[in-house]
């Protein structure tokens, strides 16, 4: 495990957003969805490609809160520029389980 400084951690903006839409992303190399995530007034809505198809159907995702990194530069994934990184953990089968707050918090709230 690599040790980082507190100032390194402070550079990463992990924020809460709400999924507005989730659609299949057939152009992705690995099965994925295109998510529209609302981070509130300060940040707005951002797109993300998420490889979460094994455990989640699109209709299960809409309305859910997620935690995402919002200060990475855009990343070209096929025809999409992914504007944030939705976070998750691999389970025992290697499928991604979303990292989510267990209670409602205001959209755009930063993890500290």
- Mind listing the pLDDT tens digit for each residue in 23-66? 999 999 999 999 999 999 999 999 999 999 999 999 999 999 99
pLDDT band of residue 20 (cuts 50, 70, 90) is very high
Q: How confident is residue 112, by pLDDT bands cut at 50, 70 and 90?
A: confident
User: Percentage of the chain surpassing pLDDT 70?
Assistant: 100
pTM over the 0.85 mark: yes
CATH of domain 16-98: 2.40.50.140
Cα–Cα distance, 43 to 16 (Å, whole number): 11
Mean pLDDT of 61-76: 97
What is the Cα–Cα distance from 6 to 111, expressed in whole angstroms?
A: 14
Q: Calculate mean pLDDT across residues 56-84.
A: 97
CA–CA gap between residue 26 and residue 56 (Å, rounded): 16
Tell me how far apart the alpha carbons of residues 84 and 92 are, in angstroms, rounded to a whole number: 25
Helices (DSSP H) in 17-91: which residue ranges? 58-61
Q: Where are the domains of the chain?
A: 16-98
pLDDT at 69 over 90: yes
């Amino acid at each position: 495990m690599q040790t980082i400084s507190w100032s390194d951690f402070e550079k990463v903006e992990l924020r809460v957003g709400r999924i507005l839409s989730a659609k299949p992303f057939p152009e992705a190399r690995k099965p994925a969805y295109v998510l529209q995530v609302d981070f509130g007034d300060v940040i707005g809505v951002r797109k993300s490609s998420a490889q979460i198809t094994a455990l989640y159907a699109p209709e299960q995702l809409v309305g859910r809160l997620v935690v995402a990194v919002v200060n990475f530069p855009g990343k070209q994934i096929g025809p999409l520029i992914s504007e944030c990184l939705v976070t998750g953990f691999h389970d025992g089968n290697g499928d991604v389980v979303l990292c989510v707050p267990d209670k409602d918090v205001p959209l755009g709230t930063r993890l500290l």
